[in-house]
Copies of this chain bind each other. A is one copy, B any other.
Amino acid sequence: MLNNEKIPVGVLGATGSVGQKFIELLSNHPWFEVTEVAASERSSGKKYKDAVNWILSTPLPKDVAELIVKECEPNLKSKIIFSGLDSSVAGPIEEAFAKEGYVVVSNSKNHRMDKDVPLLVPEINADHLELIKAQKYNGGCIVTNPNCSTIGLVLALKPLEDNFGLEAVNVVTMQALSGAGYPGVASLDTIDNVIPFISGEEPKLETEPLKILGKLSKGQIINNDIKISAQCNRVSVVDGHLECVQVKLKKKASIEEIKEAWKNFSAEPQKLNLPTAPLKPVHYFEEEKYPQPRIHRNLDKGMAASVGRLREDNLFDYKFVVLSHNTNRGAAGGALLCAELMKAKGLI
């Protein structure tokens, strides 16, 4: 594809932390090109570089810097829209865009649990894209990406579910600061501290995997019935959610069989060689002290789940540790991979 043949895309909520990440990841993307940015009234009308408080360590891409920020109204020229809108406003705005025929790929929670909206993890439930057909939107559609704490977990669980069946999952998270956006968590709350509570997080982590790991049947998702319990903590880490996971399996499995299942896990994004897909969705570490957020969060483009410490458990069958990058795989990168899958399948 020549440069001028790239697909133009718009970013909603472009000045927020997820919006910025979209812009970073879409810079030099082989298929997509950010040609429009939209944000709240406070920003619209300004040049993007003047409206944004750029918080990423990669420089603000020069071409996006000069774009004039538009309002979040469905009159953008690009037909593909990435939404990093705050959940306080995302619901109706995304719907409005879909109704006007836009393809909306959203990182916001608002439509995730809608019956006709795929909660998409391309390695896990690519077939759920079929839900789009049932959407009431006039040619447009909404596709969503799960919560940042869900994604690492489900990537690690999928091979276990497929090979051995999952009965119960217990998870305790230690989540990064960037998950709360910017300015997000006050420094006085995190230095020399842990906050054992993240508003609204535990219910998401206990329900989203059920839909993601659910089965498509007659155009509907039948949720999985794994029993899940989640406890969420905020720790002093920039990026990378670490999770202590325990699983009860339906079928007996040895440690070696489980490691094998993770090792062999590969799915459509890998087969299709999607630009943002990790080479391997799951990397297993044998060193007892790994994975660690600062060391492994960027592994495989920040798109893989890093897993370690698989061992037997006194209460469940096994326990292990999962790490994934919350703003790459867990937000903008995950949504981008959804769009790439849709493009590869002719849905964009």
Contact = CB atoms under 8 A, between A and B. Distances in A.
A110 interface: no
Contacts of A294: 57, 191-193, 238
Contacts of A290: 196
Interface string A148-181: 0000000000000000000010101010011000
Nearest to A54: B295
Given A183-B186, A235-B235, A236-B187, A192 B293 contact: yes
Number of copies: 4
Contacts of A297: 57
A233 interface: yes
A272 interface: no
Contact of A319 (B174, B229, B233, B288): B229
A174 B233 contact: yes
A289 interface: yes
A192 B236 contact: yes
Interface residues of A, number: 60
Contacts of A291: 196
Contacts of A186: 182-187
Given A188-B184, A193-B295, A196-B308, A315 B168 contact: yes
A246 interface: yes
A56 to B, nearest CB: 8
Interface in A53-95: 55-57, 59
A273 to B, nearest CB: 21
A28 interface: no
A184 B204 CA distance: 29
A244 interface: yes
Contacts of A197: 288-289, 309
Interface string A292-305: 11111111000000
17 contacts: A57-B294, A59-B299, A177-B188, A182-B186, A185-B187, A187-B191, A192-B192, A193-B292, A193-B295, A194-B292, A195-B292, A196-B242, A196-B309, A227-B315, A229-B313, A231-B244, A238-B294
Given A190-B191, A196-B289, 7 more contacts: A55-B295, A57-B294, A178-B188, A182-B188, A196-B291, A206-B314, A233-B242
